[in-house]
A and B are shown apart, each in its own frame.
Chain A
Amino acid sequence: MLRSFTSRMVGAAQRTNSAVTASAVRLFSATSTATQATPTSSTASPSTPSSELSLLRNQLRYYAVAEIKNRPYLITKNDIIVLDRLKDVKLGDVIELNQIKELGSKDYAIQGAPYVSSEYYSIKATVIEQPKGKIVETFKKKRRKHFQRRYHIKPLHTLLRVSELEVKA
């Protein structure tokens, strides 16, 4: 599904982006299935979304909402993702992320149902570090009941650097 955002211009000059307002309601299924759940009144869903993808590709920067271990991470290129320790991964390994819920830019976004088709993007992350975090202390107390507990956790992390985030034609 392609969503378009009203352009946010911060500054004195407010230019109306006619391309954005004209295509304010344009929906299409981002998955490879031909059928669409809720057809819109304006346009029929095209089978190849290359025109919509080219809208996205004409923009400058992209973000993606990646799902890693069932948790969403909103990432751009060069970001560091902080995860709980991945056991089966070494330093320097390159991970291809293929569960992308949303892929967007300033004015447009493709929302996956549930995931965006992997033909439209290439997102890679490198394992740069597997550190130990600082001690986290949880203190529980029930007053006047002689109950208090201290739990100490020293979390293990894996840091991933998003080395590539590209929208394919």
Chain B
Amino acid sequence: MPAPMVHPVLKNGVGAFIPQCRRLVFHYCERSGSSRGMIEYLKKDLIQFAKEHPHVEVIVTPRPSKHPVIRGLYLNGKDKVVCVRNMEPTDIAGKVALLKESSGNRMKVFKKPVISTTESVRGIWSPFHAAPHKI
């Protein structure tokens, strides 16, 4: 019988930090007007971005007759797609930063200020092991 798969407990940031975004794919159309800002961004700002982030693989591919799109691929295998039709280069840079800084996890509501998997340090309160209530 084969040995069961052992999943390592990953705590990104404790020993070493590994950025989660590994690839950004830029799709644009040569002819359509919605890609105008995207083409300007690709010419002006993209090379600078790619130099500053060597861990991100940057791919630029024409996708004719479609709106311009940025697709980010992450280390957990998931991807995030952002349509940047009719956006100016500064707005596109903001979307690129958003994709670069997130992980592949879905957007979720953070209800608690601290996310922890460690046991409580002082233990869970038990009425049988605490000083009795005094009035």
Expressed in whole angstroms, the Cα–Cα distance for A92 and B53 within the complex equals 12
Known: A106-B123, A131-B103. A81 touches B108 (CB 8 A): no
**When A and B form their complex, what is the total count of cross-chain residue pairs whose Cβ atoms lie within 8 Å?**
107
Residues of B within 8 A of A76 (CB): 116, 118, 121
Contact indicator per residue, chain B 3-44, by CB within 8 Å of chain A (1) or not (0):
000000001111101011000000000000000000000000
Asked whether B20 lies within 8 Å of A133 as measured between CB atoms, the reply is no
Asked whether A79 lies within 8 Å of B102 as measured between CB atoms, the reply is no
Of A6, A131, A136, chain B has the most CB atoms within 10 Å of the CB of: A131
Asked whether A71 lies within 8 Å of B113 as measured between CB atoms, the reply is yes
Asked whether A5 lies within 8 Å of B103 as measured between CB atoms, the reply is no
Known: A129-B102, A133-B107. A80 touches B114 (CB 8 A): yes
Q: Of B14, B112, B122, which is within 8 A of A161 by CB?
A: B14
B105-121, CB < 8 A from A:
105, 107-110, 112-119, 121
Interface size class of A (residues with CB under 8 A): 35 or more
Q: In the complex, how many residues of chain B place their beta carbon closer than 8 angstroms to a beta carbon of chain A?
A: 35
Residues of B within 8 A of A92 (CB): 17, 19
Q: A10-B129, A61-B121 are in contact. List 19 more A-B contacts (CB 8 A).
A: A77-B118, A79-B115, A91-B17, A104-B122, A106-B121, A106-B122, A125-B13, A126-B14, A128-B17, A131-B107, A132-B102, A132-B107, A133-B107, A133-B109, A134-B109, A136-B109, A157-B110, A160-B13, A161-B12
Report which A residues bind B (CB closer than 8 A).
5-6, 8-10, 14, 61-63, 71, 73-83, 91-92, 104-106, 125-134, 136, 155, 157, 160-161, 163
